[in-house]
Structure 1
Amino acid sequence: MADEADRNAKADQPTSLTGLPFAQQPALQLIYDTAPIGLAFLSPDCRYLQINQRLTEICGISVEGHLGRTVRECVPALAETVEAIMASIMATGEPVAGIEVAGQRPDQIEDRAWITYWHPVRGPDREIVGINVAAEEITERKRVEAALLASERQFHTLADSIPQLVWMAEADGAIFWFNGHWYDYTGVPAGDTRAHDWQTLLDPALLLDARRCWTQSLQDGTAFEMELSLLGKDGKYRPFLTRAIPLRDTTSTVYRWIGTHIDISEQRRREEHIRFIIDELSHRTKNLLAVVMAVANQTAQHAGDVGQYQMRFSERLQALAHCHDLLVKDNWHGASLRDLVSAQMRPFGETNAGRIDAAGPPVILKPDAVQHLGLALHELATNASKHGALSGPQGEVLIRWQVGETDNRVRIHWREQGGPPVAPPQRRGFGHVVIEQIVPRALNGSGKLDFSPAGVNWTFKFLHH
C-alpha cells in the first residue's frame, strides 16, 4: 500500500519531456527561473505543468497558482485561442509560431502584449506528451510601432496639407510613397506604380544632369537640389525647385530620403515681369531723356533770355511730368487719350472754366504717343492762353477725336473760336517745331497747323496700334 501511495504522489508532480519531475532536474528548473522570456509546459489537456515567473505577468497569478490548473481557469479570455492552438498541434504535430496575446491582469494600467511560440514535446514512443510555450514581451516594441505609425500619419497629413509635391524613398532611392498633390499634378491615379519615378516626368533636356546629380547624392548621402521642369497632367512642363534630403539613423547611416518639388512657375513669371519692367523702364527713360534734351535745346534756341528759358523749360517739363504720371498709373502700358487731354488742359481749364470742350471715343495710346501728344497739346494750350482763344473773355477751345473704322487711324482736331483775330506768327518757335516736326516724325503721322483769323486750327492723324 505504501508503494502505491508513493507512486500516486509522484504522478501528481509536474514532469518534463524526460518524464522526470521538474524538481528532480535542477538544470531545467534553473533555465525556467532565469530565462529572459516567459516559459511554460502544458499537458495535452491544457494544464500548466510548469511555468516561470516571467510568464505569470500575463495574468498576475503566481507560479504555484498555475500548476495543475487549466488555461481556462487561469486566463479564461485566452482559453479559446490556446485550446485551438493545442488542438492544431495535437492533430498535425507541427509547431505554431508568432501568435500575439494581450495581458489579462485586472490591475493592468497599460496594455501589455506578448508574441508566443508553441512546440510539441514527444515521449519515447513519439506521442505528444505536452507543449512547450515561449513568450516574448513586445509591449515596448508595439508602443514604438504605434508611435511610429502615428508619426507617419502625422507626416502624411502634413505632407498632404502643404502646396508641394512630396515623396519618400528607400536608402537606394526607390520611391515608395507620394503625397496627394503629386497625383493631382501628374494625373496618375493614386497608388499607381507608374508614378513612382519622378525622373520619367523630367524635361528631356535636363534628364541626364538630374540623373547624374541624383546618383551622386545617393552614393555620397548628400542632399540633392536642382531646378527641374516636371510634366503635368495638362501636358505642360512647369519649373520646380527639387530637393531630396537624406534621413539618418543613430549610426549616421542613410535609411530613407524625403523629396519635395516646389512649384516656382509664379516666381519665374514675376522675375520675367520684373526684367521686362526694368528693360521697359530703361527704354522709356532713354526716350524720356532724349525728349527732355530736345526740349532743352529747342527752348534754348527760341528763348529771348535766361529767365524766359527757365520759365518755358519748367512749363514743358511739367507737361512731360503729367504724361509720366499717367504712364506710371498703368505700369507704362499706356494711357487713354481722354485722360491725356484732361491732364494737359487742367492748368489752363482752372482759369477758363467751361471754355475747353473735349470729346471723343475711348482710345488707349502707347507710351510714345502719350509723351509726344502731351507736348503738342501743352504747346497749343499755352499759345491759346497767351495769344489765342483763351487770352480773352469769350473764346473757347474745341477738341475732338475719332478713330477710322477701316484704317484704325486716330484723327485729332483742335479748333479755337471766339478769341481775338489771329495773325500768322512772324517767327516759328519751339511750339511749331513740336507740332509740325517732332510729333509727326515720332508717331509716323501727318498734320496741319492753320492760323486762320477766326482762330487756330490743328488737325493730326496717326496710326493707332
Structure 2
Amino acid sequence: MLDIDEFTPGTGSYEWHLSGDRLLWSKGLLAVYGLTQAPDRGEGFFTSVHPEDRARIRQEMAEVCAKADRFEHRFRIVRPDGRLRFVLDRGVVVRDATGAAVKLSGVETDVTDVVDASTFPAGQGAAPAARGDGRMEEADVIDALFNDAPVGIGIWDRDLRFVKINPLLAEMNGLAPEVHIGKTPKELLPEVVDIDGVTSLLQEILNSGVAKRDVEISGCTPARPSERRFWKEHFFPIRSAGRVSGLAAIVEDVTEARKAQETIDALLHELNHRSKNLVSLILAISRQTARSRPDDFLPVFQSRLESMSAAQDLLVRRSWQDIELEALVRSQLPHFAELIGARIILRGAPDVVIPASAAQSLALAFHELTTNAVKYGALSNEAGKLTIAWQVSADGTGLQIVWRERGGPAVLPPSRKGFGSTLTGAMLQSTLSGEIEADYSSEGLTWSVKFPLNP
C-alpha cells in the first residue's frame, strides 16, 4: 500500500495501476468518498463521480495518460448517503521505459467548504467549454491569473491545510504543488521564523474575517535550506455562503530588495562616518597650516586639499574598496607625470593594494614628501632622481614603502618639526599602526613606512 498520511481530514491518496486496472486507496480517501472499501477497478471509481462530470473526467484522464506528466482535475462526487461533494484531484503519471503510462499517483482533497459551487456548473465541472461567441470564460481568466501571476498564491481551508497553491509559491517553498495539498504551513515549513506565531495569525484571520496586509515573514525553506529568505505576504479571508470558509495569501519574495536596502543603509552609515572623518581631517589641516605657514596659508592649504581630493577620486572610483598603491602614488605626482620612468622610478608589483582606510593618510604623506622634494630635494634641480619602492612582506600581512632621493642638493635635517613632518611622521604612524623611519643623509632623504595590511 502507499506510504501516505491517512489521518488528514478531507484528504486522501491513491494509486491507480493502469496495466491491471487496480485501485489502491488510503483510509483518508475512503472517508472523502464515504466508502468502507475501495473500488476494485477504475469503473468503480466512476460510479462515485457525478454523472454530469463523468464524460469530461474520462476524456481528461485519457489526455493525461497520452502526453502529461502531472495532472489536476476538479469534479463532483456523490457519496452513498446522497451528499454532493466537490473534489480537487492532483497527481503525477508514472511511465515505463517505452513512455507508456502505467500508474497514476495522486492526492484528492474535499474542497466543498472553500469553493463556490458556481465554479462547478452542471455538466461542466471545473473546466467549462469554450464560449461559442469567442469571449473568454471567467474560469479561464481566473486560472490564468492564478497559474501565471508574478506572485505566489496559496489557499487554505479552516484547518489551515493547503487546498490550492500556484506554481510560483510552490517553487518558493521548494516543494511540488501536490505535496502541499492537505498539509499545514507548520508541517511543510518548520524552519520559518516563529512559525507558531504565523499559525496564530492565520487563525486570527479565520476567526475575525479581517485581512492582514504587508506581513513580513522570514526563514528557511527546502528551496534554499541554508539561506534565510524574506517574504511580504497579504492574507485575506475567503467567504462562502456568508461564512469564512478559508483564507488565501499573496506572497512576494523580497529577499533581494531587503538585502539591497541593508546595503544602502550600511553605505549611508559608512558615508556619514567617512564624511565626519574627512571634515575633522580638513579642520586639523587648516588649523595646523595656519599655525605653521601663516604667510602662505592659502596655497599650502589648497595644495593639501587637492592631494586629498585626488585620493578621494580614487576611492570613489573603487567604491571605497582597496586601491592599487601605484595608482595612489601617481595621483600625487600629477605635475611630474613626464618624469616617471626617467627621473622618478616606481618600483614594486603593480597589483599591490592598500586598504581604503590608509589611502587618505598615505596620499597626504606622499604630497608632503613631493612638495619637499620640489623645494629642497631631488626634484629641485635637473639632475636629482627619486625612487619610490614598495614590497609586501613574505607572509603577505605587511607592506613597506621606501621613498629615496638622490642627486639633489645636500640635505640637512629639519631645524623644526612643522605640520608636514607630522603628516609624514606621528600622524601617519598613528593612522596606519606602522613604523616610520627618516634618514636625512647628506646624499639625499630616505623615508620609509612599514605597516600591516589588515590591522
Q: TM-score, normalised by structure 2?
A: 0.64
Aligned to 1:317: 305
Distance 1:204 1:190, change over 3 A: closer
Aligned to 2:250: 260
User: How far apart, CA to CA, are the structure 2 residues paired with 1:443 and 1:195?
Assistant: 63
Distance 1:383 1:195, change over 3 A: farther
The runs of at least 4 aligned residues of structure 1 exceeding 6 Å deviation read 99-102
Deviations 1:298-341 (A, max 9, x none): 21221142xx1111111111111111111122222232211111
Report deviation, 1:239: 1.3
Distance 1:173 1:232, change over 3 A: closer
The two structures, once aligned, show a CA RMSD in angstroms of 3.2
User: How far apart, CA to CA, are the structure 2 residues paired with 1:195 and 1:359?
Assistant: 71
**Any conservation in 2 of the 1:173–1:218 contact (CA below 8 Å)?**
no
Residue identity opposite 1:180 in structure 2: P
Residue identity opposite 1:442 in structure 2: T
Aligned to 2:357: 368
Aligned to 1:413: 402
The structure having more radius of gyration, on CA atoms, is 1
Distance 1:315 1:159, change over 3 A: farther
**Any conservation in 1 of the 2:392–2:400 contact (CA below 8 Å)?**
yes
Aligned to 1:33: none
Distance 1:268 1:195, change over 3 A: farther
Residue identity opposite 2:173 in structure 1: T
Residue identity opposite 1:428 in structure 2: K
Aligned to 1:131: none
**Any conservation in 2 of the 1:175–1:197 contact (CA below 8 Å)?**
yes
If each structure's helix is expressed as a fraction of its own residues, which one has the higher value?
Answer: 1
**Any conservation in 2 of the 1:188–1:194 contact (CA below 8 Å)?**
no
For residues 245-324 of structure 1, what are the structure 2 equivalents within 5 Å?
Answer: 245-247=236-238, 257-305=247-295, 308-324=296-312
**Any conservation in 1 of the 2:161–2:185 contact (CA below 8 Å)?**
no
Matched residue SS, 2:248: strand
Q: Does 1:167 align with 2:158?
A: no
Which structure 2 segments of 5+ residues have no match?
A: 1-49, 56-120, 131-136
User: How far apart, CA to CA, are the structure 2 residues paired with 1:346 and 1:264?
Assistant: 47
**Any conservation in 2 of the 1:165–1:181 contact (CA below 8 Å)?**
yes
Q: Does 1:431 align with 2:436?
A: no
Aligned to 1:243: 234
Matched residue SS, 2:379: helix
Matched residue SS, 2:297: helix
Matched residue SS, 1:191: helix
Q: In structure 2, which of residues 316, 319, 323 is the aligned counterpart of residue 328 of structure 1?
A: 316
Which shifted more, 322-331 or 166-175?
166-175
For residues 390-405 of structure 1, what are the structure 2 equivalents within 5 Å?
Answer: 390-405=379-394
**Any conservation in 1 of the 2:192–2:221 contact (CA below 8 Å)?**
no
Deviations 1:400-434 (A, max 9, x none): 10001136210101111222232333332221111
**Any conservation in 1 of the 2:191–2:221 contact (CA below 8 Å)?**
no
Distance 1:212 1:451, change over 3 A: same
Q: In structure 1, which of residues 214, 226, 243 is the aligned counterpart of residue 202 of structure 2?
A: 214
User: How far apart, CA to CA, are the structure 1 residues paired with 2:266 and 2:435?
Assistant: 32
Aligned to 2:81: none
Task: Figure out how many residues of one structure are paired with residues of the other and give that number.
Answer: 330
Matched residue SS, 2:204: helix
Which structure 1 segments of 5+ residues have no match?
A: 1-96, 103-139
User: How far apart, CA to CA, are the structure 2 residues paired with 1:333 and 1:162?
Assistant: 40
Report deviation, 1:265: 1.2
